[in-house]
């Protein structure tokens, strides 16, 4: 020992210092440490740096005061250590391109650098372990250089390992053992650091919140590491996320306003989607593979477990930091849509088995609905979901509809202010408007044309305790909408009325039908007074319509349906208010089914309509009015037809004769030139044909012959669809009639010709009605000899046989049908979307183009918008023609469009 004292401690060689006993290190610490720190700062050798660092950490660090570690050691050593590591990493990356099995010098150099880096990481691990071992609770300010330096080194290491394939240009095997050692050392170092950070407590009294900012930097650094290791080690990745969430919640009270919440939410959502897509890919591989691979099954289960972990982490984080997530709502919204767009029954779903669907739904998807529930009260989320300018690609439109249904299901359990937030419109800013949930439901539903036409099916439990059943999207939305209406707060009834009426007036038929179904539920669920009030409103709206338009059609159907839900006393009040004795009210009675009335009331009302209608017809026939004013009789004829269809038993012989006579007299005024040239006369003919068909057994045979002859000539001019449908209605009634021998030669040839023409029509709606009418005629007629004459071609015969046997005309696989529907939806929705929205917003009950004289003038910009939409639609058809052969009916429809364009030109000049 005398020799040891002869040499000052500050001058002892490094090699000797490494062999000092513990007591000597503790005693000589004050004199040796300054020398070592000075050597460390001024040394130019990487190896010497590591040697000095290891001596300090292993020999002297255990004897330092843990309260002054930052000042005496970490702040002086770690910045230089980080620079040293960065220099080594730069040198490693720069020389890696020259690595080869022949160039031993570079190989040796690179391996030496990697070995040195492993030792450096080991020294840092020693620092972290020492702090963990000597303190139960750690103030971050006392060691703040350590976490930031260690995390920098860890991240740099993981990035290098992740990119090693490209960095080492196919020579990775020459250094793979050391890279593996480097990764393991970094892995171990991070685990030790997380153990240390778990012991940290943030001192809120530190000046300028340095402690708080240091913890925020630590969490953000770990977030960066997460993005690096996500594809390298799933378990380690998950544990890192678990630690981030844990620390964020642990120090929530002091760091909540400093955290980059948007980055954390975005990263979590990205990891959820990545693991979810991986799960789906594995599921598809397993479904497509005949042999079951246990490895794939285990990997599927592991990945699904990862999905659930990330989703639960997001759920937990969102719950705790919701007030700070305003700018993350769009990301959360997109997460829900993206997940459901890839999961059955979406048209764009992955092809996984039923069992896998149930596993994923039970383990992962169940976490998304609670997430939505958490966000219900958060106004920024409401504004994102209900943004009036929300434009979604085709694959996300169906998930948006599902999301809105989920929200609708959850709202009844929420406070009134939350329900009001979702169900009322609001001007969020000059550029943004929030629509109501009900309006959004109808708008989103309208965009799901492909899912409705296929149709897709969803699993639903109809009542508690029962098994799930498959329901269509229409059923799903309709049932949940009606349930929501039943629980709606009374203060929101005005919004409900507005939404239902706007949807009924929608240009989209299926949306209008959904609104009618919901309205009918409301009529049944609500009070009798409410139903009567609604019927009266609809009746007034119909009477105020200026002319034929799709809104009038929808309102008339709604009136007809609602009338069935009125109580008899209310029906009496309606009859008194809109008495059929007054001719102006026949406009309403044409839309009402008399079957909705009790027997006595039905008989009384039917007679009043019949008398009033025939009186109006006689008045017109006896007056000096021109055929140009025939249009005013169309509502009257339609009301008479309604009586015949739904209350014929109420008419006595005299009243039936009166209706038949006015019908026959009006028919005598028609000719082929008049019918083909005037749309309103075509409407008259479309009403007279079924009206005369109702009295076919007592109709004058000569009149029947005239009707058939006119029909034959009329079909040659290709009349509108509604005229041809009326022709079919009349033809089907002829099956009941025995045609006298004297006029058979005049009628039967024309009859077979008309049937042959209509059966050959390519319009799918006319084709269906033609087959139905022909079948009805063929089953009832006594003139069986003309049945084969109606089947003019082999194609027509095949169609009839297929119809009778109830077999399809087109052989299409389920997969092919889905692809076709997706293509159609993608092609046709985009150009029509803008027009549809604009029409829905401007449902002003405008008459059709043929009655433009009643319309209000449109602004030039609206004309331009409509024309652009029409041009876009034509371009879409042109694109389809380039991809696949056109369907048979396309030419006919294009010719019809051309005719409409020609007619529109007359209104322009």
The three-class DSSP label of residue 519 is: helix
Does 808 have pLDDT greater than 70?
Answer: no
Tell the residue number behind the tokens 């009950």, with chain if given: 845
Mean pLDDT of 658-684: 89
How confident is the model at residue 223, as a pLDDT?
A: 95
Does 840 have pLDDT greater than 70?
Answer: no
Query: In which band, very low, low, confident or very high, does the pLDDT at 3 lie, cut at 50, 70 and 90?
Result: very low
Distance in angstroms (rounded) separating the CA atoms of residues 892 and 887: 10
Does 211 have pLDDT greater than 50?
Answer: yes
Length of the chain, in residues? 909
Are the C-beta atoms of residues 649 and 600 closer than 8 Å to each other? no
Does 7 have pLDDT greater than 50?
Answer: no
Higher pLDDT, 879 or 500: 500
**Sequential DSSP letters for 154-174:** HHHHHHHHHTHHHHTTT-GGG
Query: In which band, very low, low, confident or very high, does the pLDDT at 835 lie, cut at 50, 70 and 90?
Result: very low
Closest residue by Cα to residue 304 from 367, 244, 346:
367
- For residue 35, with 0-12 CB atoms within 10 Å meaning exposed, 13-18 middle and 19 or more buried, which class applies? middle
Distance in angstroms (rounded) separating the CA atoms of residues 49 and 88: 12
State residue 206 phi and psi, 5-degree precision: -60, 140
Percent of residues, the chain, with pLDDT higher than 90: 52
Query: In which band, very low, low, confident or very high, does the pLDDT at 879 lie, cut at 50, 70 and 90?
Result: low
Query: In which band, very low, low, confident or very high, does the pLDDT at 42 lie, cut at 50, 70 and 90?
Result: confident
Other Cβ atoms less than 10 A from the Cβ of 829: the count is 19
In the Cβ-directed half-sphere of 287, how many Cα atoms lie within 13 Å? 14
Closest residue by Cα to residue 99 from 176, 158, 170, 163:
170
Are the C-beta atoms of residues 590 and 638 closer than 8 Å to each other? yes
Higher pLDDT, 866 or 657: 657
pTM of the model: 0.83
Higher pLDDT, 172 or 592: 592
pLDDT digits 0-9 by tens, 439-451: 999 999 999 989 9
In this structure, what token pair is assigned to residue 437? 């949930």
Does 617 have pLDDT greater than 70?
Answer: yes
Strands 200-201 and 138-139: what pairing?
parallel
Closest residue by Cα to residue 864 from 838, 840, 844:
838
Does 186 have pLDDT greater than 50?
Answer: yes
Does 849 have pLDDT greater than 50?
Answer: no
How confident is the model at residue 851, as a pLDDT?
A: 33
Q: Which residues have C-beta within 8 Å of that of residue 540, sequence separation ≥ 6? A: none
How confident is the model at residue 442, as a pLDDT?
A: 96
How confident is the model at residue 457, as a pLDDT?
A: 92
pLDDT digits 0-9 by tens, 74-128: 999 999 999 999 999 999 998 888 888 888 888 899 999 999 999 999 999 999 9
Query: In which band, very low, low, confident or very high, does the pLDDT at 857 lie, cut at 50, 70 and 90?
Result: very low
The three-class DSSP label of residue 13 is: coil
Mean pLDDT of 796-825: 81
Greatest distance between any 2 Cα atoms in the chain? 149
**Sequential DSSP letters for 38-53:** HHHHH---HHHHHHHH
pLDDT digits 0-9 by tens, 331-374: 999 999 999 999 999 999 988 999 999 999 999 999 999 999 99
How confident is the model at residue 894, as a pLDDT?
A: 77
Does 5 have pLDDT greater than 50?
Answer: no
Mean pLDDT of 595-610: 95
Reduce the secondary structure of 609-678 to three states and give it as a string.
HHHHHHHHHHHHHHCCCCHHHHHHHHHHHHHHHHHHHHHHHHCCHHHHHHHHHHHHHHHHCCCHHHHHHC
Q: Which residues pair with 387 in a beta bridge?
A: 434
The three-class DSSP label of residue 138 is: strand
Does 834 have pLDDT greater than 70?
Answer: no
The three-class DSSP label of residue 469 is: strand
**Sequential DSSP letters for 734-786:** GGGPPPPHHHHHHHHHHHHHHHHHHHT---HHHHHHHHHHHHHHHHH-S-GGG
How confident is the model at residue 155, as a pLDDT?
A: 95
The three-class DSSP label of residue 198 is: helix
In this structure, what token pair is assigned to residue 251? 């120090």
Are the C-beta atoms of residues 387 and 432 closer than 8 Å to each other? yes
Mean pLDDT of 646-663: 92
Distance in angstroms (rounded) separating the CA atoms of residues 796 and 806: 15
* Alpha-carbon distance values, 58 to 21, 28, 33, 129, 535 (Å): 11, 15, 13, 11, 90
How confident is the model at residue 203, as a pLDDT?
A: 63
Distance in angstroms (rounded) separating the CA atoms of residues 220 and 264: 8
Closest residue by Cα to residue 320 from 255, 381, 417:
255
The three-class DSSP label of residue 813 is: coil
pLDDT digits 0-9 by tens, 60-78: 888 888 788 888 889 999 9
* Alpha-carbon distance values, 152 to 126, 186, 330, 864 (Å): 17, 11, 31, 59
Distance in angstroms (rounded) separating the CA atoms of residues 423 and 51: 70
How confident is the model at residue 46, as a pLDDT?
A: 84
Q: Which residues have C-beta within 8 Å of that of residue 440, sequence separation ≥ 6? A: 385, 386, 404
Are the C-beta atoms of residues 671 and 714 closer than 8 Å to each other? no
């Amino acid at each position: 020992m005398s020799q040891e004292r002869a040499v000052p401690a500050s001058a002892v060689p490094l090699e000797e210092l490494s062999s000092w006993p513990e007591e000597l290190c503790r005693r000589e610490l004050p004199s040796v440490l300054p020398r070592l720190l000075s050597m460390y700062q001024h040394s130019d050798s990487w190896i010497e740096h590591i040697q000095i660092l290891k001596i300090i950490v292993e020999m002297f660090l255990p004897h330092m005061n843990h309260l002054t570690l930052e000042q005496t050691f970490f702040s002086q050593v770690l910045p230089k250590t980080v620079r040293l590591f960065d220099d080594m990493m730069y040198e490693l990356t720069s020389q890696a391109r020259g690595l080869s099995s022949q160039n031993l010098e570079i190989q040796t150099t690179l391996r030496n650098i990697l070995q040195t880096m492993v030792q450096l990481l080991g020294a840092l691990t020693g620092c972290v372990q020492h702090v963990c071992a000597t303190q139960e609770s750690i103030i971050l300010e006392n060691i703040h250089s350590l976490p930031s330096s260690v995390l920098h080194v860890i991240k740099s290491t993981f990035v290098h390992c992740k990119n090693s394939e490209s960095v080492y240009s196919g020579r990775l095997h020459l250094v793979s053992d050391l890279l593996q050692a480097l990764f393991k050392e970094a892995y171990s170092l991070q685990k030790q650091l997380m153990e240390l950070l778990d012991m940290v407590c943030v001192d809120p009294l530190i000046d300028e919140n340095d402690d708080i900012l240091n913890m925020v930097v630590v969490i953000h650094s770990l977030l960066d590491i997460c993005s690096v290791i996500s594809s390298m080690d799933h378990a380690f990745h998950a544990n890192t996320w678990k630690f981030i969430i844990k620390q964020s919640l642990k120090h929530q009270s002091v760091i909540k306003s400093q955290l980059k919440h948007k980055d954390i939410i975005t990263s979590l959502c990205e990891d959820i989607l990545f693991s979810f897509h991986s799960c789906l890919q594995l599921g598809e591989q397993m479904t497509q593979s005949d042999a079951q691979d246990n490895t794939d099954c285990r990997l599927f289960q592991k990945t699904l477990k990862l999905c659930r972990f990330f989703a639960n982490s997001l759920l937990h984080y969102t719950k705790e930091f919701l007030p700070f997530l305003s700018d993350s709502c769009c990301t959360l919204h997109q997460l829900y849509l993206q997940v459901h767009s890839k999961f059955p029954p979406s048209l764009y779903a992955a092809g996984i088995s039923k069992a896998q669907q149930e596993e994923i739904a039970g383990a992962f998807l169940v976490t998304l609905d609670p997430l939505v529930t958490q966000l219900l009260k958060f106004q920024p989320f409401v504004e994102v979901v209900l943004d009036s300018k929300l434009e979604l690609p085709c694959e996300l439109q169906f998930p948006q509809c599902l999301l809105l249904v989920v929200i609708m299901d959850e709202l009844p359990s929420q406070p009134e202010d939350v329900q009001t937030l979702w169900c009322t419109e609001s001007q969020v800013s000059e550029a943004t408007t929030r629509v109501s949930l009900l309006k959004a439901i109808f708008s989103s539903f309208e965009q799901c044309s492909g899912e409705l036409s296929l149709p897709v099916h969803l699993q639903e439990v109809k009542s508690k305790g029962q098994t799930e059943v498959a329901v269509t999207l229409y059923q799903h939305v309709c049932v949940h909408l009606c349930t929501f209406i039943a629980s709606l707060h009374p203060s929101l009834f005005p919004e409900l009325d507005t939404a239902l009426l706007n949807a009924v007036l929608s240009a989209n038929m299926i949306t209008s039908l959904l609104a009618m179904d919901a309205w009918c539920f409301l009529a049944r669920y609500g009070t009798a007074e409410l139903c009567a009030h609604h019927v009266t409103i609809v009746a007034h709206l119909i009477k105020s319509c200026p002319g034929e338009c799709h809104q009038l059609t929808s309102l008339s159907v709604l009136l007809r349906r609602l009338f069935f839900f009125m109580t008899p006393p209310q029906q009496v009040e309606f009859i008194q208010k809109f008495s059929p004795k007054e001719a102006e009210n026949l406009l309403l009675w044409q839309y009402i089914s008399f079957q909705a009335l009790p027997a006595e009331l039905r008989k009384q009302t039917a007679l009043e309509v019949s008398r009033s209608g025939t009186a109006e017809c006689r008045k017109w026939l006896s007056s000096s009015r021109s055929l140009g004013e025939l249009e005013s009789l169309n509502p009257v004829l339609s009301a008479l037809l309604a009586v015949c269809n739904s209350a014929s038993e109420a008419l006595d012989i005299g009243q039936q004769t009166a209706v038949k006579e006015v019908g026959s007299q009006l028919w005598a005024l028609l000719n082929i030139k008049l019918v083909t040239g005037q749309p309103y006369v075509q409407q008259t003919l479309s009403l007279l044909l079924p009206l005369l068909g109702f009295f076919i057994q007592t109709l004058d045979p000569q009149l029947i012959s005239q009707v058939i002859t006119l029909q034959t000539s009329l079909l040659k001019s290709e009349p509108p669809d509604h005229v041809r449908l009326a022709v079919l209605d009349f033809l089907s009634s002829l099956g009941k009639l025995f045609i006298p021998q004297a006029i058979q030669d005049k009628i039967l040839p024309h009859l077979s010709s008309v049937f042959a023409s209509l059966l050959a029509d390519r319009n799918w709606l006319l084709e269906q009605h033609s087959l139905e009418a022909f079948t009805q005629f063929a089953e009832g007629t006594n003139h069986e000899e003309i049945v084969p004459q109606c089947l003019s071609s082999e194609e027509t015969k095949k169609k009839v046989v297929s119809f009778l046997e109830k077999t399809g005309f087109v052989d299409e696989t389920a997969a092919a049908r889905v692809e076709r529907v997706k293509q159609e939806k993608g092609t046709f929705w985009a150009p029509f979307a803008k027009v549809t929205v604009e029409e829905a917003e401007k449902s002003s009950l405008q008459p059709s183009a043929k009655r433009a004289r009643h319309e209000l003038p449109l602004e030039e910009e609206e004309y331009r918008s409509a024309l652009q939409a029409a041009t876009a639609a034509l371009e879409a058809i042109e694109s389809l023609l380039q991809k696949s052969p056109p369907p048979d009916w396309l030419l006919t429809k294009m010719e019809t469009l051309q005719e409409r364009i020609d007619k529109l030109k007359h209104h322009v000049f």
